[in-house]
Every structure is written in structure tokens, then in C-alpha cells.
Structure 1
Amino acid sequence: MQPKVRWTILLTLLTLSAGLVLFGDEPRSEKLNSIVDSTTSVAEKRGIDASNFKQSNGRSSPLQTNPTDKDQQEILAIRPRISDAETAEAFIARNWTLPPLSLPPPPPTAPPLPFSFLGKKFEDGIWEVFLGEQDNTYVVKEHDVLNQHYIIEAIHPPTMTITYTPLQQQQTLAIGDAQ
């Protein structure tokens, strides 16, 4: 769009709006008068003297007060809103997840084996296994007791079965293939 055409349209719209402001109908005053009349009737229902309110055209208005009659004016208190408990708590955060079930404690388990496999030997049809525990070395066969808490139940390569005697739980230790 050319600047000359744009300016012509803008000036035409400006002239029309100025004409409406100056010569337009005054429906606003009629609406204001009906509002004033309804507030006057409400004031009369509540027992307030409506003659204390004046407007510049002689009609009564609750918007302007007569400063000399301050003693005769009654100030209406704002009533508190009525609310019930459900409305007051409408937007409170709620947790819809179920509480965790209290499970019984798990049964006790045997501690991990403190022994490490060092080697094995098969002699006279009996397996002997060499085990290490910190600075100690043990040579064990089936049905031997170690540290008063462990019984060697079976030696069948590639595993050895050990029973932890306080809980009577069996554990296995890898000892490698039979070679």
C-alpha cells in the first residue's frame, strides 16, 4: 500500500471518530440515569436517606456526596462471603498414592563366604580343596568344620557346597572344573 493512500484512509477514520465524539448520540447518560434510579430505590429499601446524594443535573447519584451532611450518612458494612469447608479446600494438594505396605522384615540370610578358592587336588578318590581366609590357609574335605560356623557338605567340581550352621543355609563356592 502506498503511503499517500494509507494517510488518506487514516485521516478519514480520524475525522469519522472525531465526528462521532462531538455529534454522536448520548446513550451513556440514559444508562447512567437508569443506574442512578435503581441505586436510589435500593438505598430507600435499606432505609438510607437518598436526598444526601446529588448529581450535577439535579438527579440523585450515589457517586457524589454532600460534604455538609457527613453526620447523616450511613456507611454499609461489607458482609463476609459465606463459604463451606468443601469450597475452602477445593484446591488443596492431595496425594492419591497409597501408603507403602508394611512388609514383614526379610528372613535373615547368611553372610557372604569369607573364603577364597586357592586350589584343589584329587587323591585316593577324595577331593581336597585349598581355601584362604585373610592370612589363614585351610585344606578341607567333605564333612569338615571351619571356624565353628561352616560345614563342608559336598565337593563336586565345579562347585563346593558349604552350610552356614547358625541359619542352616547352604552356599556354594566355585572351585573350577575337575582336571
Structure 2
Amino acid sequence: DHLQVRLPYADDEEYIDLGAAELSFYAILVELLGRCAPSEETIKMGKQNAIRAKSILKSLVSMHDLEGVLGLKFLLSNENSMPPGLQPSHKMSIILFLERVYGIPDQETFFRLIEEAFLPDIRCATILDMALVSESDMALALNRYLCTSVIPLMASHAHYFDNCDHRSSLLESILHTIYRLSKCRSLT
């Protein structure tokens, strides 16, 4: 027996995608928590409440969990509507929390995020652009996520690209994939 997954249908008003609803709820919650995080300037001033707040936020959501969610793959569809499940906006919320609460502490974390999360997401955008759904809701949302969250994060941590000759194959993949992304018709 194979596990049967019931996908939503437009004519079924009774259908509720609980998985997607839970993902959306937690993404909104994580984004709200990330927005509540104290700024680095406040922490550098040594304000105890800010330091305590950041510690509490770190105890609520682990770095391992954030990396796990960012590493999830999107469902790609041949339809113009958004597929069920994980949405680019969910990952945008996770990145906001990651940046505000943890930051990118070192070069290894940076490259691990690129390799396991961001590079596959960029490839999804290039795949959707080649398909007949290049202007679908998913393609546009994915490009919005990449252009407002992923690429700015990579640019703000570009110093991690210094002295990384040991990651030359990953660098080549990044350059090739970003070049393909730059040629996408639906790039926003």
C-alpha cells in the first residue's frame, strides 16, 4: 500500500490543508519573533534585557531547526497557482529570524546554507522559468524570496567568499546558477 496524499481541489470547499496552515502559522510566528529581536547595537551597548531577550529567542528556535526548514524543497507544479505546502514566504520568515537572532556566525555555516538551502531554491527558480509556468504565482513568489532575502543575505556576507579556494566546486555552482537566474524572464 502506498500512502495517498490528498491534494486540494478548487471545487472542494470542505478541504482544509492543515499542513499548509501549520506551516503558515509557524512561519508568521517565527517572523514576529524575529522582528522582536533586539538589534546588534542594543546588545553591544550591554543592555541586559536585550541580551536576555536574544537568549530566550535562541532557546525557542534552534539553529538546527532553522537550517532544516531552509533545506526543505519546494513542490513545483505545472499549474499557475501556488502548490500546497511550503511557500517561499515561509522561508523568508525563517531567514529574517536567522539574520536577526543568530546571524551567520562563520564561513562553514554560510556555505552550508548556500549548498543545502539557497542553491536548490535558486535552481527551482531557473527550472520554473524554463517551464510554461514562468509567470505563475509560485515563480513570482520564488523570485521575490530570492531577490529580497537570499541574494541580499549572500551579498551582506560576501566577506565569507574570501579565502575559500577549498570550496571551488561550490563557487563554480553558485556562479553558474546565479548567471542562469539573471537570465530568467520572471526575475523581479
Which bin holds the TM-score, normalised by the shorter protein? Answer: under 0.3
Q: Give the TM-score of the pair, scaled to structure 1.
A: 0.19
Question: Which protein shows a greater Rg?
Answer: 1
Q: Give the TM-score of the pair, scaled to structure 2.
A: 0.19
Greater RCO between the two (CA within 8 Å, min separation 6)?
Answer: 2
